[in-house]
Structure 1
């Protein structure tokens, strides 16, 4: 699941959503944009939407520590 190569625009959308969530200000527009982008990416790559969504959230919310 962590081997998914996400496009930059999808990563930025999820980062924006996570920032809004942490501020308690997630908008319907942001949430809808992320959901639509995740769904489209999953369809384009032939992957499960839930697997894509979980991997994307993990990457943004719980990033791997960078190697030294």
Structure 2
């Protein structure tokens, strides 16, 4: 089943109730990263948006994790 990524702003998107925020590259971090949050809980940084959405899909497939 495919789910859509809804753009909220230039740097944030909504995917299955989670917020994916793009963190631009910096001098220290040479690549852009994607932070996954649900409410006030952070689920970490990912190197690609596809990795972030894949992780969210894994959470949805587990019982009792993330609505």
Per the TM superposition, whether the score is higher than 0.5 is no
Report 1 or 2 for greater relative contact order, CA contacts < 8 Å, sequence distance ≥ 6: 1
For normalisation by structure 2, the TM-score amounts to 0.32
